[in-house]
Amino acid sequence: MSSAPVVLGIETSCDETGVGIVVDGELRANVIASSIDEQARFGGVVPEVASRAHVDAIGPTIDAACKRAGIALTDVDAVAVTAGPGLVGSLLVGVAAAKGLASGLGVDLYGINHLAAHVAVDEMEHGELPDPVIALLVSGGHSSLVLLEGDRIQPLGQTLDDAAGEAFDKVARVLGLPFPGGPHIDRAAREGDPSAFDLPRGLAHDPDHRFDFSFSGLKTAVTRLVASLGEPVSDRQVADVAASFQEAVADVLSRKAVEACRTHGIEHLVLGGGVAANSRLRALTGDRAESAGLILRVPRPDLCTDNGAMVAALGARLIRHGVAPTSPGFPATSSMPVTSVAFS
């Protein structure tokens, strides 16, 4: 491998076909093709539609990323790919492409964990992650607090029901906003009053679940609230519900993340995953981290939602840390645990 490794990362765990290229630790390309427009009319991701879209998009997206990075495919020193968690049919497209590419080029292959990649992507913007660090991982399928120390990942808490992103998507549907709901709620909330409605903060004061989350009670409360407003719901009401809901989610997530850092004596906090793109979560966590004397790192919004750069970033980190590549027989795994960074 050259002294300035060129790492190509492939992400196909859900509905985004993402290809990122990192050269010598620097992000050179991050190209995304999304089947979101096809999915939006179903109000959610249809796995079969996503898999077929990945098959169509994977080749052109790899080509476009190489072009953007100004490299030829033959310049690639290592290929990284999301092996899980995610939709198995979608994962298989990326994994098959990565295996073919690595084998054809005769280069190393890393089958990595999507959740770890959501954290590693921050290195593209803010340099090497501090050690130890606590990560709040909030996406469409996961909400977890983890403590990263050396090569150990210690889960501190997780959602007991819906993921944070899932709650955004479900509440958006109740409000008549398009899928995926997170960005639409974020936008609508800007015009709303976050204290208009007093909504529940699940597990906020439960000593048995200090670092766990629960969003299903909040989702039910919003559904009841919207039903009580009668038809038609005005733009003003949508904005107020969106802002009050977003405040409840951001309040619980940021409070527990900061509390976890305090309890474990950790000075650094990093946010990752699609929900970390949320403007209120970023701002409130920033304020609370500052008051608690913590240093917060959050990737820029387009690196929070699914992309190929995060996979290339984690691949580059594993290479830098001397982690051995994955043997090529690894599977696509729909439920890869948060504690495993990559297959060995």
Residues sharing a CB contact under 8 Å with residue 55, sequence separation 6 or more, in sequence order? 93
- Window of 45-53, 195-203, 251-259, 275-283 that interacts with ligand KG4 by CB under 6 A: 275-283
- Piece of 35-43, 175-183, 219-227, 335-343 that binds ligand KG4 (CB under 6 A): 175-183
Positions in 8-47 near ligand KG4 (CB under 6 A): 14
Is residue 139 within the footprint of ligand KG4 (CB under 6 A)? yes
**Least distance from C-beta 262 to Zn ion, angstroms?**
27
88-105 in b/e burial notation, b at 16+ Cβ within 10 A?
bbbbbbbbbbbbebbeeb
- Quick one: what does residue 325 bind among Zn ion, ligand KG4, none, with the CB cut-off 5 to 8 Å set by partner type? none
Question: Whole-angstrom Cα distance, residue 171 to residue 149?
Answer: 35
Please say which residue, 123 or 306, places its beta carbon nearer to Zn ion: 306
Is 61 near Zn ion (CB under 5 A)?
Answer: no
Q: Rank residues 141 and 315 by Cβ distance to ligand KG4 and give the closer one.
A: 141
**Shortest Cβ distance from residue 171 to ligand KG4 (Å)?**
10
Q: Is 254 in the site for ligand KG4 (CB under 6 A)?
A: no
| Structure tokens, 207 | 């000593």
Q: Of these partners, ligand KG4, Zn ion, none, which one is at the site of residue 93 (CB under 5 to 8 Å by kind)?
A: none
- Identify the residue among 278, 285, 326, 333 touching ligand KG4 (CB under 6 A): 278
Contact between 183 and ligand KG4 by CB under 6 A: the answer reads yes
Residue with structure tokens 């990649």? 117
Going across the sheet that includes 133-138, the strands are 152-158, 143-149, 133-138, 268-272, 295-297
Q: Is 157 in the site for ligand KG4 (CB under 6 A)?
A: no
Distance between CA atoms of residues 11 and 80, nearest Å: 9
Whichever of 12 and 326 has its CB closer to Zn ion, that residue is: 12
Residue 192 sits in the site that holds ligand KG4 (CB under 6 A): no
- Nearest one of 58, 113, 109 to 85, comparing CA atoms: 113
306 lines the binding site for ligand KG4 (CB under 6 A): yes
First to last CA, the chain: 19
Least distance (Å) between residue 178 CB and ligand KG4: 10
Residue 15, token pair as written in the block: 């509905």
Query: Of the two residues 76 and 244, which places its CB atom closer to ligand KG4 in the complex?
Result: 244
Does the footprint of ligand KG4 cover residue 299 (CB under 6 A)?
Answer: no
Task: For residue 26, list its beta bridge partners.
Answer: 23
Report CA-CA distances (Å) from 270 to 119, 204, 231, 337: 7, 21, 41, 19
Torsional sign, CA 146, 152, 154, 155: positive
Q: Which residues bind ligand KG4 (CB under 6 A)?
A: 14, 139-141, 165, 168-169, 180-183, 186, 273-275, 277-278, 305-306
